[in-house]
A and B are shown apart, each in its own frame.
Chain A
Amino acid sequence: MADNPSLKNNPSLDAWLALTGDGEIVARPGKVDIGQRISTALRAIVADEMGVRLDRVRMAPPSTDTHPDEGVTAGSNSIQQSGGALRAAAATARRHLLARAAAKLDADPESLEVADGLVTLKGTNQSVSYWELMQNRPFGIEVDADAPRIAREAHRLIGSELAPAGIADMVTGGFRFVHDLAWPDMRHARPVRPPRYGARLEGLDEAAVERLLTDGVSVVRDGSYLAAAADDEFAAIRGAERLARAARWSGGALDDADIFEGLRTNERISLPVADGKPAREPVPPLFGDATLTASYERPYLMHGSMAPSASAALFKDGRLQVWTHSQGIHPLRLTLAEALGLDAGAVTVNHVPGAGCYGHNGADDAAFDAAMVAGALPGRPVLLKWTRDDEHAWEPYGSAMAMDLAARLDDQGRITDWSHESFSDTHVARPRPGPGGAGPARLVALRHLGDSKPTFTPQPNMNFESGMHRNLTPGYDLGRPRLVKHLVRGMPLRTSSLRCLGAGGNVFAIESFMDELAAHAGRDALQFRLDHLSDPRAHAVLEAAASGIGWGRPAAEGRGLGLAYARYAATKAYAAVAVELSVGDDARIRLHRAEIAADVGEVIDMAGVRSQMEGGFLQAASWALYEQVAFDAGGITSRDWESYPILGFDNVPEIAVTVIDRPDEPPLGAGEALGGPTPAAIANAVYRASGLRLRRMPFTPDALRAAAMA
């Protein structure tokens, strides 16, 4: 707990919790809801730890003016960081309140009991409430990371199936997203993007612009940056379409050479990785005479949020206010200030829910767009929305990856040597302040502005289990494997953090290769894994998933079983998934069943964990079966849901989730545990169903036919 960065950076108890006069506890976590239901779990932590009903705890709308800086809501860290900080804060507050109650009631703190915030001297009718004790005053103390936690037996919410916060509003249409914001004098805005990366605005049909202005449409232009705004949303949409037709663009062809060729042959920075961290050292040579080598690949993937990115902004009296669905309101605030030449003190960023984001999508870019338009229309609130085309074509994708694996087996069928090299563009390009304007340079619209702006050249991420090397280290007992990350230059598409980062490609490769090695050694794929795993928690999830699917039974004709396992980012959730699928005569893969087993340590919200497991599986199954960003020299060609298809209800299997609750272990995030194992489990099952080994995602009918011809 002492190394919790959220607490270290925000030690004051008042930063986290406030008791308001009307019997409420207001919690202010710096992590935000991004569709993963984190606030449901955080509320339960505060309620249980302070001994109050759930509905007494209110989550204040996050704002940089009022909420602690917890960086970015990412990396499955919220339960550990925000949850850990709130738990310590609530425990500190409870101890403080009990001490004050003891003084007030002239009693020993041990002789007090708490029921829904009412502190009573046991066996008497003498009592005082938290709110009477506090009288709306701040605590004025620091969070004690070691404040004693409430006994597990006293938990009434933690570990149970909690109802998702806001669900009643969601199913009746009352839940407010950033897209639903409205002010009486608001202008609606749309950006007008170039046709492709790097294209410059040659000129505008000025007569057409004049007609737009006459029709009440504002035109924002700065270099190659264009946007249209109007009082009415449909007028803004039509205005943006007219502005697009009035624009003449030039240049900016994309390099449409084969991306997997590029990953292996472009200029790159190559670093060895040991103990989860890259080192600026020479790459050790590959061992000779490998028993088996194999290469795996995945294409560029989209976040594909259901809602195109949006943001509201108001520039008034020299102050900028922004409403955004960004994952990092504090880093965004500093970035916006830097990009717009404002003092950071003049910028407030407020979080408003967006649709599920799954990583760094267009949210921050849209916030900058809204700020640009608001700057041109001072005094008027602006609600700017991207189109579906904008989102598909301009979001920062999950990088394409190539993984080259090699291993040696001894004559007992044990792995003696292991090598894994990953080739990828960056997975970490979020806007955040840094030297040379590094943060603003990561905003898409900055590239379009008139004057010269800094450009962003990604540097290798050197942190533990981060970026491309997340889950590069196999979770198996393999001594000192040879691990290399290659940060590749000159790749064609804009990339940043997509759910799971490098683990998405790395675990697909590792868990496919484990099956290939097991087959080579003539061993059962489950037993082969267990033989290389000493961690009993890993055994437990693998065995639970395998038992659920009926591992070892003969599959029906045309069907196959496959499984895969990983511990996310080496220190986080354990998860195994087993699938049963069939490959049809039409070369389509049909998913029939999925058995998921997960160990996230102490479970806070059982329903939330199950939902994240089901959702994580289905999204990764979608990546595996359907998804790849397509482009040519003229630009991105995946511009809607037909040119970038995703999983629909027609291929949703029966899903069972076993959650192994370990109340004595620290709680761990659940959202990214299955992004790696799922594509591997599917590939392994396809192999058993059809004899075809698929090493490149997605596993489309064309890919299956090509594999059958090979």
Chain B
Amino acid sequence: MAEMRTFELKVNGETREITADPAAPLLLVLRNQLGLTGAKFGCGLEQCGACAVLVDGEAVLTCNAAAADFQGRDIVTVEGLAAEGALNAVQQAFILAGAAQCGYCLPGMVVAATALFDANPQPSDDEIKDALASQLCRCGTHARILAALRELRDG
């Protein structure tokens, strides 16, 4: 049986003590130990984007990356984007545009779009598409998501 290790992670502004298999992916630690089930498992292969969270402000895929390697990093999950209950601008834009079907890909989409707009509040259409290039959606919500983000950009 794998050796458990205790380490600290900073998640949504709080330092949390974790005891886990050092190889356990960050996604599973967030979901099962911290109860943050917003990030989703889609493939376990870093191919679909459903598991994205912000790490030091950048969208990072968590399904295959060991949690223990994120010590000292600033992790923000989709739950942490709505500071004190106020939705961030990207979340509001998705709601205004009705950009949702089944919703499974949305946490990853919101995280990837937040990383983009935090770094570049006026992205071009191509920059938006590039930022979402590794985010898959099977319902075909893409057009609504693009409309939401253009609306956010053009205010």
Contact = CB atoms under 8 A, between A and B. Distances in A.
A36 B101 contact: yes
Nearest to B103: A170
Contact of A167 (B28, B41, B94): B94
A356 B136 contact: no
Interface in B28-56: 28, 31-32, 35-45, 47-48, 50
A173 B39 contact: yes
Q: Which of A171, A611, A615, A650 has the most CB of B within 10 A?
A: A171
Contacts of B138: 304-306, 355-356, 358, 619, 646
B40 A170 contact: no
Interface in B76-104: 77-79, 81-82, 87, 90-91, 94-95, 98-104
Contacts of B137: 306
A116 interface: no
A556 interface: no
B25 A234 contact: yes
Contacts of A168: 87, 95
B60 interface: no
B100 A641 contact: no
B133 A649 contact: yes
A37 B91 CA distance: 19
Interface string B1-22: 1100000000000000000110
B21 A234 contact: yes
Contacts of A647: 142
Nearest to B82: A172
Interface in A464-512: none
B103 A172 contact: no
Give the residue among A169, A307, A622 with the most B Cβ atoms within 10 A. Answer: A307
Interface stretch (A119-127, A174-182, A439-447): A174-182
Contact of B106 (A171, A176, A655): A171
Contacts of A649: 128-129, 132-133, 135, 142, 146
A205 interface: no
Contacts of A642: 47
A307 B77 contact: no
A163 interface: yes
A276 interface: no
Contacts of A35: 101-104, 139
B106 A170 contact: yes
Nearest to B137: A306
B47 A640 contact: yes
B105 interface: yes
Interface residues of B, number: 60
A233 interface: yes
Contacts of B139: 35, 356, 615, 619
A216 interface: yes
A166 interface: yes
B110 interface: yes
Contact of A173 (B37, B141, B146): B37
B24 interface: yes
Interface in A220-256: 232-235, 238
Contacts of A319: none
B153 interface: no
Interface residues on A, range: 35 or more
Nearest to A652: B142
A172 B81 contact: yes
Contacts of B21: 232, 234-235, 238
A385 B146 CA distance: 31
B144 A614 contact: yes
Contact of A640 (B43, B91, B106, B141): B43
Nearest to A304: B138
A119 to B, nearest CB: 33
B42 A307 contact: yes
A34 interface: yes
Given A172-B38, A216-B1, A642-B47, A614 B77 contact: no
Contacts of B140: 614-619, 622
Given A216-B1, A618-B140, A619-B139, A232 B87 contact: no
Contacts of A307: 40-42, 50, 104
A173 B102 contact: no
Contacts of A173: 36-39, 77-79, 107
Given A37-B100, A176-B37, 11 more contacts: A164-B100, A167-B94, A173-B38, A179-B41, A214-B1, A306-B50, A354-B102, A607-B98, A611-B141, A619-B140, A640-B47
Interface of A: 34-37, 161, 163-164, 166-177, 179-180, 182, 214-216, 232-235, 238, 304-308, 353-356, 358, 385, 387-388, 607, 611, 614-619, 622, 640-642, 646-650, 652, 654-655
16 contacts: A164-B100, A167-B95, A170-B107, A171-B87, A175-B103, A179-B40, A182-B32, A214-B1, A216-B1, A235-B1, A235-B2, A307-B50, A356-B102, A611-B144, A649-B133, A652-B142
The 10 closest A-B pairs by CB, nearest first: A173-B38, A35-B102, A615-B140, A618-B140, A170-B103, A355-B104, A356-B102, A173-B78, A180-B37, A215-B1
Interface of B: 1-2, 20-21, 23-25, 28, 31-32, 35-45, 47-48, 50, 77-79, 81-82, 87, 90-91, 94-95, 98-107, 110, 128-129, 132-133, 135-144, 146
